[in-house]
Amino acid sequence: MIPSPEEPGRASGLIPRDSSLPNLEFPFRDLNSRVTTTASFYVRNHFPTPPLTAEDWSLTVGGAVLHPLRLGLEELQSLPALTLTATMECAGNGRTFLSPRPRGVPWELGAVGTACWTGVPLSAVLERAGLPEVAATWEVVLEGADRGVMTEPVASPGEISYARSVPLAKALDDVLLAYEMNGEVLTPDHGFPVRAVVPGWYGMASVKWLTAVQVVPEPFQGYFQTVDYAYWETRDGLPPQLRPIGPLQLKAAIARPAPREVVPCGVPYEVTGAAWAGEAEVARVEVSVDGGCTWADAEFIDPPKPHVWRRWRFLWQVPGGPVRPTLLARATDTHGRVQPTCHDPARGSYMITHPLPIEVDVQESSP
Ligand SMILES: Nc1nc2c(c(=O)[nH]1)N[C@H]1C(S)=C(S)[C@@H](COP(=O)(O)O)O[C@H]1N2
Ligand SMILES: [Mo]
């Protein structure tokens, strides 16, 4: 089944990146607001969107809680709500820039967006269920209603649901059970009726179509935590260990010019893009228009805001053509950390945060 852009609630104007599931990319060159409209927000599905209804939906809260409970949508919505803005990026965003081209959805630059999410803090629901005395290893498993069989990167044990965990401390800090996106009811593709939003983390943690929350005393080792969405960490002189991907890593991305754009020669061009840093804050963005030989500061369009990208711009004096310059952008955070210069193979085809080369064509000057 080709995901039809005409399906009710399905966004148009997004670029399909998959022939069998709605995996849809935002054309990143269209970036022109800090908050992405819902219609322009990328979609990442591992399984078909489940047909949930507001009447039938419920959330079970269980595991190592004192009073397991089940909440209907109205009950959840009767709890005090809050709205937060967060940038969400798929961990595989930018994968097409890797060579050799790895398996996985071939995202270019646009598997990222920023939205305003309204819902109930997960902490409020966990407080209701009551927690015993907990330790630092405790986690909260978030499970979606979508199910299916995975064949890659390894075969799943038959049909599985989409599930991810977050550390209990993060769950109690700022994870939201969102039922609205940009002031409107969630669309089916973005998780109707309720999804988790894990601010400052890669998108895989923000489980859509959330139907179960379980508190567990040990790290959860589910499919999307181990064989998928994991990377190799080398620490303490031990051999590499697989770790689940978590917080967003520092990154600046160029929206305009787009890859292979034809740029007029001899006139100023406003290079623009966005930068984000997960749980840290972006302090500086630099641009190179000569493939990384020299760098100059870009100017921020947006003020800093936790968990939200900052758009930036840079005025480029385009040289005479024909030439094919390579543009790069790189960010520094408030701790002085800078993006890595090349992709670390320990990250596999995830967390692609080295400056991505944007090659453009400068038009030949007319005689
Ligand atoms: N239930 C469920 N939740 C999910 C997924 C999924 O396939 N099923 N995909 C995850 C991934 S990998 C990403 S990047 C984000 C994307 O959210 P979006 O489709 O609203 O952009 O949802 C996450 N939550
Ligand atoms: Mo993702």
Q: What digits encode the pLDDT tens for the residues 345-354?
A: 999 999 999 9
The pLDDT tens digits for 201-228 are: 999 999 999 999 999 999 999 999 999 9
- The topology (CATH level 3) of 15-244 is Sulfite Oxidase; Chain A, domain 2 (3.90.420)
DSSP 284-310: EEEEESSTTSS-EE-EESS---TT--E
The pLDDT, as a whole number, for residue 316 is 98
Q: Which ligand is nearest to the CA of 148?
A: 1
164 lines ligand 1 (CB under 6 A): no
Per-residue pLDDT of 233-285, as tens digits, reads 999 999 999 999 999 999 999 999 999 999 999 899 999 999 999 889 999 99
Instruction: Tell me, in angstroms, the distance from the centre of ligand 2 to residue 206's CA.
Output: 9
Q: Are 211 and 71 within 8 A, CB to CB?
A: no
> At residue 196, what are phi and psi to the nearest 5 degrees?
-85, 145
pLDDT at residue 367 in the model: 61
Q: What is the mean pLDDT of residues 171-195?
A: 98
CATH code of the domain made up of 251-363: 2.60.40.650
Residue 16, class by beta-carbon neighbours within 10 Å (0-12 exposed, 13-18 middle, 19+ buried)?
middle
Pocket test for ligand 1, best of 15, 37, 45 (most atoms within 8 A of CB): 45
Q: What pLDDT, on the 0 to 100 scale, is given for residue 364?
A: 79
Residues of the chain with CATH 3.90.420.10: 15-244
Supply the residue whose CA is at minimum distance from atom 21 of ligand 1: 43
The pLDDT-based confidence of 154 (bands split at 50, 70, 90) is very high
Residue 113: alpha-carbon gap to chain centroid: 7
Domain with CATH 2.60.40.650 in the chain: 251-363
> Which residues neighbour ligand 2 (ion) by CB within 5 Å?
44, 90, 203-204
pLDDT reported for residue 1: 39
- Span 302-356, pLDDT tens digits: 999 999 999 999 999 999 878 899 999 999 999 999 999 999 999 999 999 999 9
Please tell me the predicted confidence (pLDDT) of residue 10: 61
